[in-house]
Amino acid sequence: MNYAVITIPDFSLHALRRSEPDLARKPVALIEGEGRKAVLVQVSPEALGVERGLAVSLAMARCPGIVLRTRDLKAETDSHRLLVAAAFTLSPRVEITGPECCTVDLQGANPEQTERAMRQGVADLMRMGLPARPGAAATPLLAHYAACCAEPVLVVRDAREFLHDLPLSFAEPTARQAEVLDGWGIRTLGQLAALPKAEVGQRLGTEGAALWERAAGETTRPLRLTQPTQTFASAWDYEPGIDNIEPLFFKLRRYAECLAFELRSAGFVAESLALTLLLEDETDYWREYQLPEPNTDVEGWLKVMHSQLESLTLPARVVTVRFVAKPTRPLVKQEGLFDTGLRDPHAFWENLAKVSAILGEERVGTPVLEDTWRPDSFTLERPAESVPAPGPAAVHPPQGGVLRRFRPPRPVLVMMENSRPSGISGYASGAVQAAAGPWRASGDWWRPDHWAVETWHVEMETGEIFQLARTAGGWTIEGVVD
């Protein structure tokens, strides 16, 4: 098999039903034309007694509960993107043959792997509400015939046998050709292909020879290749606007699944997500969600967004949503033999995102000290994937108790005696029983925010040991030594 064709029968109808889940299992038909001239063009199997080409009034009489709709071009565009994404899972050489059909060049591909990929693609599209039918054969035309007959996947290995019983209508003869061939008793492609091509050409002309080639499935053509998408974005509207997250998440999930599928088929994962909400008052809300680990896990995406969105209050209703996934290549790395990794990385990053939503992103992480002696200087960074082996022990072992900080430091009045604190008043008051210090430090003198601090440890009558700091702003209690 050199080519595959993926097609979705009744594409417009399935695209519509996919965009409106309420229509599932209801008799639905698409109509074209206006007024009395309107006729049914696509009909769902639930609409019993109704067929294509039927007038609307007749269809309503035969099937009273039938839902009649016109085509939804936005829904068709979304579904078409999924079809194209599925085609790119088979090969990078894809032609968009029509809105409901893609042709794929499989030359050089492993047949078994391709067939598995086709079945997987069918399952993925089916899960998203699109019953695709892929067929594979030696030529694009044969593959198209195969796709039309597929239930759900058909790989043609013997073209002669496959064509033998196919109706002549597959080769699309003109009315005159069909009449002549019917007179000859030719009703299948196999019967026509069994005739000598030259003889058919002599009697039916060049058009007849072309029909014979189509019947034999020998017609081949170069594909008009398309490039895989590099932008992964979806947008949708609400009419009327929405004021809570339930309807937002309902559609967000569906579009997120589509984007994740597109990303996977293009060999990407999402590095970050961006959500833009356009409001009724013509303002907008924009937020980027940095994913803890690049992935295409829709549930994980939604959890990250839900933690933040559920506490969001907007000044007006949401009328339009734009959702963008920033693509990146999947991380491929090998863990160190003795690294202590995460037992459940997804839970770890997801829970960190939840905690960030509660506290704010800047208030959770692993503390990393800054390269300065300035008091209380550190940053919180993203925790390491694995806990590395500890470094060598400090040359000078630490002494004394550990400071427990007051943030912000508590202002206090300090009485001095012989240049040493003798009593304090303010947050804590009383006579100082013993004092140790001063320890002086300063830095960044070349910058506007230069600093200098004098630190003391004082033991109070209550037994508490406070760390006092004298800066240009006065005395403060920085914390308690514990």
Partner 1 sequence: MPKASSTLAALRSLVAAWNPPDRRACEGVPTGVPAIDSALGGGLPGGQLTELVVAPGSGGQLTLVQLFETTRSARQRVALIDATDAFAPEVVAADLLRHLVWARCHNTEEAFKVADVLVRDGNYAAVVLDLRDAPGSALNRIPKTTWHRLHRITERQPAAVLVLSRYGLVPAVRWRLELPSRFRLSEQRRPRLELITALHAEALRGTFTEEMAG
Q: What is the DSSP string of 180-199?
A: HHHHHT--BHHHHHTS-HHH
Nearest to 471 by CA among 402, 416, 412: 412
Of the candidates 445, 463, 472, 473, which one interacts with partner 1 according to CB under 8 A? 463
Q: Which is nearer to partner 1, 20 or 297 (CB)?
A: 297
Q: State yes or no: residue 195 binds partner 1 (CB under 8 A).
A: no
Nearest to 87 by CA among 146, 139, 132, 127: 132
Nearest to 321 by CA among 262, 245, 385, 260: 245
Q: State yes or no: residue 368 binds partner 1 (CB under 8 A).
A: yes
CB of 355 to partner 1, least distance (A): 5
Close Cβ partners of 72 (under 8 Å, ≥ 6 residues apart): 12, 15, 16, 19
CB of 347 to partner 1, least distance (A): 6
Nearest to 286 by CA among 300, 272, 299: 272
Q: State yes or no: residue 315 binds partner 1 (CB under 8 A).
A: no
Binding residues for partner 1 restricted to 398-457, rule: CB under 8 A: 398-407, 433-436, 457
Of the candidates 99, 383, 423, 438, which one interacts with partner 1 according to CB under 8 A? 383
Q: Which is nearer to partner 1, 75 or 364 (CB)?
A: 364
Q: State yes or no: residue 245 binds partner 1 (CB under 8 A).
A: no
Q: State yes or no: residue 316 binds partner 1 (CB under 8 A).
A: no
Q: Residue 175: what are its φ and ψ, rounded to 5°?
A: -60, -40
Q: State yes or no: residue 319 binds partner 1 (CB under 8 A).
A: no
302 close to 323: Cβ distance less than 8 angstroms: no
CB of 460 to partner 1, least distance (A): 9
Of the candidates 119, 176, 224, 363, which one interacts with partner 1 according to CB under 8 A? 363
Nearest to 114 by CA among 138, 137, 91, 83: 91
User: Angle formed by the axes of helices 298-309 and 345-359, to 10°?
Assistant: 10
CB of 292 to partner 1, least distance (A): 12
Q: Which is nearer to partner 1, 63 or 469 (CB)?
A: 469
Q: Residue 165: what are its φ and ψ, rounded to 5°?
A: -105, 5
For residue 44, give both structure tokens. Answer: 């769902």
Q: Which is nearer to partner 1, 160 or 363 (CB)?
A: 363
Of the candidates 250, 286, 378, 439, which one interacts with partner 1 according to CB under 8 A? 378
CB of 456 to partner 1, least distance (A): 10
Tell me which stretch binds partner 1 (CB under 8 A): 18-26, 112-120, 254-262, 391-399: 391-399
Nearest to 180 by CA among 166, 200, 196: 200
Contact positions toward partner 1, by CB under 8 A?
340, 342-344, 347-348, 351-352, 354-355, 358-359, 363-369, 375-378, 380, 383-384, 387-391, 394, 397-407, 433-436, 457-459, 463-465, 479-482
